[in-house]
A and B are shown apart, each in its own frame.
Chain A
Amino acid sequence: MEEFTNESFLSADIPKIEAVEFEHLERDYLYMRLLALGLAFLLLAGALVVFWFKNDIALWKLLLPYLLVLGGIIVLELKGFKIKSFALREKDVSYQSGLIWYKHTSVPFNRIQHCEVQQGVLARLFDLATVKVFTAGGASSDLSISGLSKERAQQLRDFITQLSAQHE
């Protein structure tokens, strides 16, 4: 057995994921999320108007928290969007996201079972798509990258499928 110290087995010449340049998502994805948010808040506004009519309550008591929450979420979306990004390396694919709850996942190509492109209703309007990467034994996808243009998503899927097939 080869001799080595603790220090060397962790941090020797192991490639560092931190050093990789991450690619950002389509700007349209941000607009799509803001639109979805807007629709949800429109519904909420409707409910609040009904509530306001039925109850004798000062308008600002409803409007102020509404605007504060809406503003807060928009700021989080704008800032969070900058973090959402993915990276392809020679042997794995990674995705990171989350402003308050940061997450960073990598799946090596030699462990991928299959890879697919999905498109939601709203995403279709923006011509956006999601790439999902599956490994064995899971019920849900292990990594999903939303907010890619449909074309780019298909390219990415083909690329990942091709690389993971080499390990079959």
Chain B
Amino acid sequence: MSSELFELPQRQSPIGVAVIFAKNLRKGINIFVSVVLVEFGFKSSFLGLSLPVLATLIALLYLIISILQYLRFQFFVASDQFVIERGVLSREKINIPFERIQTVNLKQNVIQQLFGVFAVSVDTAGSAGKEIEIPALSKTHARQLQEFLIEMKTQVSGTEMEEEPNSAIEEAEVSSFSGTDQPLLQFGIKDLLRIGLTENHIRNGFVVFAFVNGYLWQFQDYWLELWEPFFEENAALWLTEMFLIIPALLLLFIILSILTSLLQTFLRYFNLRFFINEKGAQIVAGLLKRTEFQIPVNKIQYLKWKSNPLRKILGIHTLVIKQATSMEHREKKSAKVPGCNDDHLKTVLNAFYPERETTEQPLELQPDTYFFWRMFGFYGLVPVVLWLAISYVAEMSWWWSLIYFPIAIWWSYRFYKSNILSINAEILQLQWGWLFPSKSLIKWYKLQSVKYSQNWFQKRRGLANVIFYTAAGREFIKHIPQKEAKEIYNYALFKIESAEKSWM
């Protein structure tokens, strides 16, 4: 690819004005609604201007700011770095050395889709990790920039790996997957429904509840006023009908939760296509906001897949491809593929983890029974004793604890049993969770540091924890015998330090 394309300072596609304007306007409306409307009411006026006039004026001001922002936003390539200059009042110059670039992704929100432009986001995973986004480029231009940056990055970091013959293939850029490639996984409406209905509804429900709660209270003056007469008249009735209202509210909560899950799934995973080959992975998905992840194989820090009780029945998992990102973006930016069955997983693992298939038996380690007793004490014994004490004092029914106790024991036992660390010479695999099982597969050399920890109780029993840190997060095993913990610790360091391959 020629770099001349990007050598001269250049602006975004002119449509950028619209995209920037829309973004500014949304921020503005938010402020407008929460500050002006809530504080001063609909009929307020400033300097003799009515609200609609004022709003128009502000919008015009925003338009001018947006045009200025567009004009002052320039990017180009200077020797070994990518440079962005932006800012209207205070000029900002961002230099990104190619070797610092972690991922380059294309994104589209509604506005960008409407105008057919793409945002290119560049993530640098450093300690001061921040994400830099160029909001509006035409499709070909965005793609060129993405490929160019990925290539420059590989060239810069590829120099030290020349001794290794194999790495040449690995380090080659991911050829962008053309339309003729068969996706490993493609979602239709049925798949989306399946995934949406098996989401963790309870969690989603609470998230919505918290959000609505926070948002509604800002406007309580408006809507409470409307309902006040109704509340007053029916207060007595409400109390007597409590028995009806609580189940009704519960039902409403459940329905809302499921609807939210479905909506979220459709928004996020609509028309998902998941491509893989030996060079990397690509995920394209989204209804209003299309996101595209392009992950070269050497950028995969590790793989993790999770499930939940409903999905276990269907035999599907959510595959997470962990990339190096700074902490703040970890949840938002992880590349997820829900709805992978065992065959899909196998294909992915064969492509990215050929080392897994060795003849030797992996070494398996499980936590000590101490772990079970701890869980049992924490989730079984303590709540039950508390419950009994409270029911004795408050004269409430105590037999609930009889039902809870065996469940707690059973759950603690299954959870304890689900923890397995298995290692071979190249890979470690961590497995845990019974209701929400998850498995992580990490190549030793992808680790960045290791921690060994041991509290006073563990020390007396000769147990310890080992925590494995990667550029994409950490995983751990707890309460394993101290001797093995030390061996694993030393082995991890040995594997990292003897690795010649670049890990990021």
Contacts and interface: CB of A to CB of B under 8 A. Distances in A.
Nearest to A111: B448
Nearest to B466: A104
Contacts of A167: 160
Interface in B248-265: none
A139 B490 contact: no
A137 B125 contact: yes
A114 B449 contact: no
Contact of A143 (B449, B471, B484): B449
Contacts of B166: none
Contact of B324 (A18, A110, A136): A136
14 contacts: A9-B360, A9-B491, A10-B363, A10-B484, A17-B486, A106-B489, A110-B499, A111-B447, A135-B471, A137-B470, A137-B473, A139-B129, A139-B326, A139-B328
B490 A136 contact: no
Interface stretch (B63-71, B82-90, B172-180, B451-459): B451-459
Given A10-B363, A10-B488, A111-B496, A135 B448 contact: yes
Interface in A92-134: 92, 98, 100-111, 113-114, 134
Given A10-B488, A137-B327, A110 B496 contact: yes
B404 interface: no
A108 B493 contact: yes
Interface string A4-26: 11100111001111100000000
A111 B324 CA distance: 13
Given A6-B361, A136-B504, A103 B489 contact: no
B478 to A, nearest CB: 13
B470 A92 contact: no
Interface in B473-504: 473, 484, 486-491, 493-494, 496-497, 499, 503-504
Contacts of B79: none
B188 interface: no
Contact of B358 (A1, A104, A114): A1
Contacts of B487: 10-11, 14
A106 B489 CA distance: 9
Contact of A106 (B324, B360, B449, B472): B449
Given A4-B360, A17-B490, A136 B126 contact: yes
A104 B328 CA distance: 26
A100 to B, nearest CB: 5
Contact of A104 (B99, B447, B453, B496): B453
B454 A1 contact: no
A103 B363 CA distance: 25
Given A102-B454, A106-B449, A137-B325, A17 B493 contact: yes
B449 A137 contact: no
B455 A101 contact: yes
A164 to B, nearest CB: 12
Contacts of A108: 448-449, 493, 496-497
B450 A105 contact: yes
Given A4-B360, A15-B490, A113-B126, A137 B451 contact: no
Interface string B196-216: 000000000000000000000
A82 interface: no
Contact of A91 (B160, B469, B489, B497): B497
A103 B491 contact: no
A103 B496 CA distance: 20
Interface of A: 1, 3-6, 9-11, 14-18, 91-92, 98, 100-111, 113-114, 134-139, 141-143, 167-168
Contacts of B361: 6
B425 A9 contact: yes
B359 interface: yes
A114 B494 CA distance: 21
Given A15-B494, A135-B471, A139-B127, A105 B459 contact: no
Contacts of B448: 107-108, 111, 135-137, 142
A104 B127 contact: no
B325 A104 contact: no
A103 B359 CA distance: 35
Given A10-B487, A18-B486, A105-B450, A100 B493 contact: no
A137 B326 contact: yes
Nearest to A142: B449
B492 to A, nearest CB: 9
Given A15-B494, A105-B450, A137-B129, 13 more contacts: A5-B360, A6-B361, A10-B491, A14-B490, A17-B493, A101-B453, A106-B450, A106-B493, A137-B125, A137-B327, A138-B127, A141-B127, A168-B160
Contacts of A143: 449
Given A16-B490, A134-B127, A139-B127, A107 B449 contact: yes
Contacts of A1: 358-359
Contacts of B447: 111
Contacts of A168: 99, 160
Nearest to A141: B127
Nearest to A18: B486
Interface string B409-429: 000000000000000110000
A26 to B, nearest CB: 24
A114 B491 contact: no
- Give 10 closest A-B pairs by Cβ, nearest first: A139-B327, A137-B471, A107-B449, A91-B497, A136-B471, A111-B448, A104-B452, A135-B448, A134-B127, A10-B487
